[in-house]
C-alpha cells in the first residue's frame, strides 16, 4: 500500500554484539558473546519510565542533585531510559 495505507514495512531492529569475559575463581576466563537488540524509543523521553522518574525527582527535591543518597535512583532511571531505547 501507499502513503496512507499503513502497511509500511517495519524497520529491522539494530543489533549490537557484545563480548564479555566471565571470570570465576579457579577456572579459566570464559568469553561470552551476547547479541543486544537496540530498539527505537516509542515515547517521548519525558513520558518514559514514570516510576523511576518520580523516585529520582523526589530524592533530588529532598536531598539535592549532588546527594549520594540519590545516585542509585538516578542510575536506575538512566538504565530504564536506555531499556526504552534512549541514549543517556
Write the pLDDT tens digit of every residue in 51-68.
999 999 999 999 998 999
Q: What are phi and psi of 62, to 5 degrees?
A: -80, -35
Q: Give the pLDDT confidence score for residue 2 in this predicted structure.
A: 47
Q: What is the DSSP letter of 74?
A: H
Tell me what the mean pLDDT of segment 20-32 comes to. 72
Question: Alpha-carbon distance 2 to 62, whole Å?
Answer: 53
Residues in the chain: 88
Please report, in range form, the residues annotated as the binding site for Cu cation.
46-47
Q: Give the pLDDT confidence score for residue 47 in this predicted structure.
A: 94
The H-assigned helical ranges of 1-88 are: 50-63, 71-83
Amino acid at each position: 500500500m501507499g502513503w496512507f495505507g499503513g502497511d509500511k514495512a517495519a524497520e529491522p531492529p539494530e543489533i549490537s554484539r557484545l563480548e564479555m569475559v566471565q571470570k570465576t575463581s579457579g577456572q579459566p576466563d570464559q568469553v561470552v558473546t551476547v547479541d543486544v537488540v537496540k530498539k527505537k524509543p516509542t515515547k517521548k523521553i519525558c513520558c518514559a519510565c514514570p516510576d523511576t522518574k518520580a523516585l529520582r525527582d523526589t530524592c533530588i527535591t529532598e536531598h539535592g542533585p549532588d546527594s549520594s543518597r540519590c545516585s542509585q535512583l538516578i542510575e536506575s532511571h538512566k538504565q530504564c531510559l536506555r531499556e526504552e531505547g534512549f541514549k543517556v
